[in-house]
């Protein structure tokens, strides 16, 4: 009762404050006190006179003008101005009039004359340093126990998506650094979940750069962003992390932990975990993470089912002499069980037919991977980078599939049953050595790079396939084989780059790149001996011994302009490709060469800070993958026999892209627009022949005219007042894909238009409540230029609602609700399902520990059902997923970071 009275009083007090709060608008112009020139990208912010709480902030435009918009119940505010290389400016403002024009504000340059110095004073919430946006963590209110992920959700222009991906002004973050050094490069979520806000001093956002671009101080050629976390100076020594364990009904369990050791530039991290709740990868006992994994299967290559997994990881970073060393290792063991039903409707020139299949699959994958990087400075102007990596994977798979083919009159035409058992391993070693030397005078550099990759794969598969054809003769076939697959790939690439200074901001670029790869694929098939059941009958017709040798070279010359507002690079060259494909068992050999122009160009126009326009144009050529080349038939699936084409040519593409991003710091809103178009010649197309008994044979050829285009636009806005805040984003994604294929001697075109609108809204009410909701409909329109293929539409909806309350004190209640609706899916499949997860937490030991009671899939409706189209069929599928369970867990936070 007492807690309820406290909550009611708090709400009444907040309501009174909101009524008393009033909007204000403060304008002005920032200039240099000596030159009287306007200063672009100066930070202007106001704080309350009592608590010194940040109320609003903005950045001056190219004319030095600013406009501060906000609301407060204070009559007196303090205004501050910060600018790199200048002294801080402060002024008291009385809000006698809510519309204030301060006119010109003159600030003095610093006598230190350092390029990136800010004279001590009131900390600026945001600072612009060349191409770096720096956010002061103290200026963004978060709970004391919040993580980096929670903080990023409050940073203007930053979006943390349901799948854990991060975007800054529409551009994806592909790297997170800690004090400029990498931290578990494979998964950015490890960093966003591990670091708490009380450890972080600054958040820096920069364009992602390669080692070469970083060392030579060149402009970034990437469309991605990098986030650098700057740890507080008094928080860079000690141990921190968290340990978690849980157990529930149906023998469900989850164990995870991460421990980090910091000692200045040295960092050691160890993580590990195990669970049988379908949550592969390192886990954090996080409700939203469970919901996220239930919706996103990318972590296991879209292998659906229920998983049991264990993981171990190690990370080491330290300075070594005149360089830096980064080493990481990951171990994972994942087992997946899945039962799936699939219905397909196939289209033919004069009829259509159906297949119905059921499958049971078991897979286990054991993986060891490590990679390391040594960056060593040979001197002030030269550097060598060595980056070796190793990966070892052991796989076991058992698959059982039964299938029936039915004609338009609902008559069974054929049936099949296939069982296979596969085991084997893959080993991969790669290394990259990069030598960089930048010139002392006026820029320019020399870059010599060599990389190599060696991959070995060995798999044995026992295949048992039975096919029955219900025709006049009632034909059938039985296959009982041992298939020994082995492959070896050896590849290397060398690159020589030279950049020469021509005149102010203009450079000449010369580049020569040469590569060679040799791929050997051996497929030995042994049929079962009817007498002794041994696999001792070698099948020379279905066995294959294929060697593919690819050689390529590019010689290019280009001009690069590195201006403050405009940067551009245009390189033109000549591309030479040579293929040597040799199948020794069938005595097929093809040697062919190819020449083409090579173009690599981009233009970046910085309209002003937070407002950028980018163009790119590139050509590319790719050799066909080995699975499309083998001229020996693959009969693993008796319903579709696949034969490669040794004469396939390299695919040639021309790709354009344009992007625009604009973040308005005055309105706290941002927009991002992206468009791309790719046109492909010599694209690989499928040639499919369907016989009267609905058995298929497939091969491949080259076609011209394939096309891939994308369009994406997003808008986000943040609004805050004294005790509440909201953030919403609206987006629209569209993709159009055009392909050509062949079916029973007919060439046809497929066009697939996919549209994905997205709306999300986040509301925060002090430290009491966080509310999130999202809605994402999806429309896929598939059209054909041939009348025997029917155009079709697929529509689906996804709605999510998440609430977290932090009341009463030390109690955390989370609800995560996800509703999916698929109106177009075929009868017999689930049209809708609701995934509802609940978690009740109790904070213990002054916030260091938390005990949780979690119910996953409260309604017991979790299911994976999809409808999608391909070039010649529509498929409906349904797979089992983990359903309702209860879990009790305890998480303890470790933190003995020294605070000097």
Structure tokens at 440: 């002392």
835, 857 Cβ separation under 8 angstroms: yes
Burial class (CB in 10 A: 0-12, 13-18, 19+), 144: exposed
Give the integer Cα–Cα distance in Å for 392 and 372. Answer: 15
Place of tokens 């010194």: 52
3-state secondary structure of 790: coil
Give the integer Cα–Cα distance in Å for 52 and 45. Answer: 11
pLDDT at 435: 97
pLDDT tens, position by position, 292-310: 444 443 334 445 789 999 9
pLDDT at 14: 43
What sign does the dihedral 526-528-530-536 (CA atoms) show? Answer: positive
For residue 459, is pLDDT > 90?
Answer: yes
Rg (C-alpha) for the chain, rounded Å, is: 31
Residues with Cβ within 8 Å of 236's Cβ and at least 6 positions away in sequence, in order, are 179, 262, 263, 264, 897
Give the integer Cα–Cα distance in Å for 857 and 833. Answer: 10
Using alpha carbons, select from 361, 364, 375, 192 the residue that is nearest to residue 877. Answer: 361
Q: How does strand 99-107 pair with strand 22-32? A: parallel
Q: Looking at residue 474, what DSSP letter applies?
A: -
3-state secondary structure of 639: coil
pLDDT at 287: 53
Give the integer Cα–Cα distance in Å for 307 and 298. Answer: 13
Q: What is the mean pLDDT of residues 664-674?
A: 88
pLDDT tens, position by position, 644-665: 999 999 999 999 999 999 988 8
For residue 397, is pLDDT > 90?
Answer: yes
Q: How does strand 535-538 pair with strand 566-583? A: unpaired
Buried b (16+ CB within 10 A) or exposed e, 673-711: bbebebbbbbbbbbbbebeeebbbebbbbbbeebbbbbe
3-state secondary structure of 732: strand
Higher-scoring residue by pLDDT: 658, 351: 658
Using alpha carbons, select from 499, 383, 498, 497 the residue that is nearest to residue 443. Answer: 499
pLDDT at 899: 60
Q: 501 forms bridges with which residues in the sheet? A: 507
**How many alpha carbons lie under 13 Å from residue 188 in its C-beta half-sphere?**
21
Give the integer Cα–Cα distance in Å for 360 and 155. Answer: 46
Report all structural domains of the chain as residue ranges with CATH numbers, in order of start.
Answer: 23-113 (2.60.40.10), 130-235 (2.170.130.10)
pLDDT at 472: 58
Place of tokens 């079962």: 528
Give the integer Cα–Cα distance in Å for 657 and 616. Answer: 5
3-state helix, strand, coil in the chain (%, to 5): 5, 65, 25
pLDDT at 491: 98
Centre a 10 Å sphere on the Cβ of residue 58 and count the other Cβ atoms it contains. Answer: 24
pLDDT at 853: 96
3-state secondary structure of 636: coil
Which among 119-123, 347-351, 436-440 has the top mean pLDDT?
436-440
For residue 143, is pLDDT > 80?
Answer: no
Give the integer Cα–Cα distance in Å for 130 and 876. Answer: 52
Structure tokens at 348: 């033919």
Omega of the bond prior to 672 within 30 degrees of 0, cis?
Answer: no
3-state secondary structure of 2: helix
Q: What is the mean pLDDT of residues 346-355?
A: 89
For residue 683, is pLDDT > 80?
Answer: yes
Which among 63-67, 486-490, 687-691 has the top mean pLDDT?
486-490
**DSSP E strands, 439-475:** 445-469
**How many alpha carbons lie under 13 Å from residue 538 in its C-beta half-sphere?**
6
Give the integer Cα–Cα distance in Å for 704 and 651. Answer: 9
Place of tokens 């990951």: 330
pLDDT tens, position by position, 731-787: 999 999 999 999 998 999 999 999 999 999 999 998 899 999 999 999 999 999 987
pLDDT at 156: 81
Give the integer Cα–Cα distance in Å for 221 and 604. Answer: 9
**pLDDT range class, residue 12, cuts 50, 70, 90:** very low
**pLDDT range class, residue 265, cuts 50, 70, 90:** confident
Q: How does strand 158-160 pair with strand 166-168? A: antiparallel
Structure tokens at 250: 């149906």
Residue 393 to residues 440, 457, 461, 523: CA-CA distances in angstroms?
A: 46, 9, 16, 20
Give the integer Cα–Cα distance in Å for 662 and 206. Answer: 15
Largest Cα span, the chain:
103
315, 367 Cβ separation under 8 angstroms: no
Burial class (CB in 10 A: 0-12, 13-18, 19+), 115: exposed
Q: What is the mean pLDDT of residues 812-828?
A: 95
Q: Looking at residue 182, what DSSP letter applies?
A: E
Q: In the predicted model, what is the mean pLDDT of the chain?
A: 88
Q: What is the mean pLDDT of residues 689-700?
A: 90
pLDDT tens, position by position, 536-584: 899 988 999 999 999 999 999 999 998 888 999 999 999 999 999 998 8
Give the integer Cα–Cα distance in Å for 368 and 427. Answer: 10
Q: Give me the torsion for CA of 865, 869, 870, 873, rounded to 10°.
A: 100
Give the integer Cα–Cα distance in Å for 792 and 823. Answer: 13
Give the integer Cα–Cα distance in Å for 223 and 362. Answer: 39
Residue 312 CA from chain centroid, whole number: 22
Residues with Cβ within 8 Å of 29's Cβ and at least 6 positions away in sequence, in order, are 38, 63, 64, 65, 66, 103, 104, 105
Give the integer Cα–Cα distance in Å for 706 and 737. Answer: 8
Using alpha carbons, select from 406, 456, 447 the residue that is nearest to residue 427. Answer: 456
pLDDT at 141: 72
Q: Determine which of 39-53, 240-254, 598-612, 679-693 has the lowest per-residue pLDDT on average.
A: 39-53
For residue 519, is pLDDT > 50?
Answer: yes
3-state secondary structure of 483: strand
Give the integer Cα–Cα distance in Å for 209 and 195. Answer: 23
pTM of the predicted model over 0.85: yes
pLDDT at 829: 94
Q: What is the mean pLDDT of residues 370-386?
A: 94
pLDDT at 51: 66
Using alpha carbons, select from 640, 654, 648 the residue that is nearest to residue 583. Answer: 648
Q: What is the mean pLDDT of residues 94-116?
A: 78
Place of tokens 């600030």: 107
Centre a 10 Å sphere on the Cβ of residue 745 and count the other Cβ atoms it contains. Answer: 8
Task: State the DSSP string of 649-676.
Answer: PPEEEEEEEEEEEEEETTTTEEEEEEEE
Give the integer Cα–Cα distance in Å for 831 and 822. Answer: 5
pLDDT at 288: 53
71, 721 Cβ separation under 8 angstroms: yes
pLDDT tens, position by position, 162-218: 777 888 888 889 899 988 888 876 678 888 888 888 889 999 998 888 888 888 888
Q: What is the mean pLDDT of residues 509-530?
A: 94
pLDDT at 17: 44
Q: Determine which of 262-271, 669-678, 703-712 has the lowest per-residue pLDDT on average.
A: 262-271
**pLDDT range class, residue 114, cuts 50, 70, 90:** very low
Give the integer Cα–Cα distance in Å for 751 and 756. Answer: 17
Contacts 24+ apart (CB under 8 A), 280-283: 280/307, 280/309, 280/311, 280/332, 280/334, 281/187, 281/309, 281/311, 281/332, 282/187, 282/190, 282/256, 282/258, 282/311, 282/313, 283/244, 283/254, 283/256
Burial class (CB in 10 A: 0-12, 13-18, 19+), 468: middle
For residue 348, is pLDDT > 90?
Answer: no
Structure tokens at 284: 């954090």
Residues with Cβ within 8 Å of 595's Cβ and at least 6 positions away in sequence, in order, are 574, 575, 576, 577
pLDDT at 111: 60
Residue 386 to residues 217, 374, 650: CA-CA distances in angstroms?
A: 20, 5, 31
């Amino acid at each position: 009762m007492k807690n309820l009275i406290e909550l009611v009083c708090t709400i009444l007090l907040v309501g009174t404050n909101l009524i008393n709060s009033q909007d204000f608008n403060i304008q002005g112009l920032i200039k240099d006190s000596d030159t009287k020139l306007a200063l672009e990208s100066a930070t202007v912010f106001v704080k309350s006179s009592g608590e010194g709480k940040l109320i609003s902030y903005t950045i001056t435009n190219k004319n030095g003008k600013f406009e501060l918009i906000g609301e407060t119940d204070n009559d007196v505010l303090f205004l501050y101005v910060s600018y790199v290389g200048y002294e801080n400016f402060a002024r008291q403002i009385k809000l006698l009039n809510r519309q204030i024009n301060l006119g010109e504000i003159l600030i003095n340059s610093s006598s230190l004359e350092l390029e990136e110095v800010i004279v001590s004073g009131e900390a600026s919430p945001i600072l612009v340093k060349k191409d770096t946006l720096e956010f002061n963590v103290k200026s963004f209110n978060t709970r004391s126990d919040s993580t980096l992920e929670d903080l990023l959700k409050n940073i203007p222009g930053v979006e943390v998506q349901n799948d854990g991906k991060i975007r800054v002004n529409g551009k994806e973050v592909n790297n997170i650094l800690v004090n400029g050094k990498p931290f578990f490069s494979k998964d950015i979520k490890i960093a966003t979940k591990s670091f708490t806000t009380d450890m972080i001093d600054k958040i820096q956002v920069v364009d992602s750069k390669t080692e070469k671009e970083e060392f030579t101080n060149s402009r970034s050629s990437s469309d991605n962003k990098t986030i650098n976390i700057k740890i507080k100076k008094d928080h860079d020594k000690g141990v921190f992390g968290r340990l978690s364990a849980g157990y529930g009904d149906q023998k469900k369990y989850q164990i995870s932990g991460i421990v980090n050791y910091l000692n200045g530039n040295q960092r050691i991290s160890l993580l590990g975990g195990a669970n049988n709740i379908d949550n592969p990868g390192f886990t954090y006992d996080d409700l939203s993470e469970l919901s996220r994994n239930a919706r996103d299967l990318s972590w296991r290559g879209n292998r659906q089912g229920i998983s049991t997994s264990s993981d171990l990881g190690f990370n080491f970073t330290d300075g070594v002499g005149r360089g830096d060393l980064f080493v990481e290792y990951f171990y994972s063991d994942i087992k997946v069980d899945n039962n799936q039903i699939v219905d397909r409707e196939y289209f033919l020139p004069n009829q259509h037919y159906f297949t119905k299949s059921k499958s049971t699959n078991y897979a286990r994958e054991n993986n060891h991977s490590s990679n390391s990087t040594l960056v060593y400075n040979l001197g002030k102007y030269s550097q060598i980078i060595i980056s070796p990596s190793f990966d070892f994977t052991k796989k076991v798979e058992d698959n059982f599939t039964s299938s029936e083919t039915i004609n338009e009159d609902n008559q069974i035409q054929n049936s099949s049953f296939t069982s296979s058992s596969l085991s084997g391993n893959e080993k991969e070693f790669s290394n990259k050595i990069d030598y960089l030397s930048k010139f002392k005078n006026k820029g320019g550099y020399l870059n010599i790079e060599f990389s190599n990759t060696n991959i070995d794969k060995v798999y044995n598969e026992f295949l048992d396939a039975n096919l029955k054809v219900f025709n006049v003769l009632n034909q059938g076939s039985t296959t009982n084989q041992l298939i020994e697959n082995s492959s070896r790939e050896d590849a290397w690439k060398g690159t020589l780059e030279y950049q020469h200074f021509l005149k102010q901001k203009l450079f000449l670029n010369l580049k020569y790149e040469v590569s060679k790869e040799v791929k050997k694929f051996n497929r030995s098939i042994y049929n079962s001996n009817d007498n002794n059941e041994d696999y001792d009958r070698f099948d020379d017709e279905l066995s294959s011994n294929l060697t593919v040798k690819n050689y390529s070279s590019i010689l290019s010359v280009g001009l690069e302009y590195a201006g403050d507002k405009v940067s551009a690079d245009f390189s033109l060259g000549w591309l030479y490709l040579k293929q040597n494909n040799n199948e020794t068992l069938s005595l097929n050999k093809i040697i062919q060469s190819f020449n083409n122009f090579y173009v690599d160009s981009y233009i970046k126009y910085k309209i002003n800070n937070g407002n950028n326009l980018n163009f790119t144009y590139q050509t590319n050529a790719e050799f066909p993958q080995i699975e499309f080349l083998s001229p020996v038939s693959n009969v693993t699936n008796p319903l579709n026999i696949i034969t490669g084409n040794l004469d396939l040519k390299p695919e040639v593409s021309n790709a354009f892209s344009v992007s625009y991003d604009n973040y308005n710091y005055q309105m706290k809103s941002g927009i991002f627009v992206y468009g791309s178009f790719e046109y492909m010649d010599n694209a690989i197309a499928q040639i499919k022949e369907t016989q009267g008994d609905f058995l298929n044979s497939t091969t491949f050829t080259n076609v011209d005219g394939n096309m891939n285009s994308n369009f994406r636009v997003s808008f986000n806005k943040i609004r805050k007042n004294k005790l509440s805040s909201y953030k919403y984003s609206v987006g629209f994604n569209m993709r159009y894909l055009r392909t050509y294929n062949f079916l029973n001697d007919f060439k046809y075109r497929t066009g697939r238009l996919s549209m994905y609108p997205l709306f999300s809204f986040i509301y925060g009410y002090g430290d009491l409540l966080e509310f999130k909701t999202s809605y994402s409909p999806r429309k896929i329109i598939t059209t054909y230029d041939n009348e025997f293929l029917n155009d079709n539409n697929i529509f689906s909806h996804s709605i999510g609602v998440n609430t977290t309350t932090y009341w009463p004190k030390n109690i955390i209640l989370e609800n995560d609700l996800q509703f999916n609706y698929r109106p177009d899916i075929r009868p017999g499949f689930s049209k809708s399902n609701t995934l509802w997860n609940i978690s009740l937490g109790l904070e213990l030991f002054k916030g260091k520990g938390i005990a949780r009671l979690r119910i996953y899939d409260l309604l017991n409706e979790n299911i994976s059902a999809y409808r999608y189209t391909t070039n010649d069929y529509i498929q409906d599928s349904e797979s089992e997923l983990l359903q309702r369970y209860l879990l009790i867990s305890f998480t303890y936070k470790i933190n003995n970071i020294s605070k000097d």
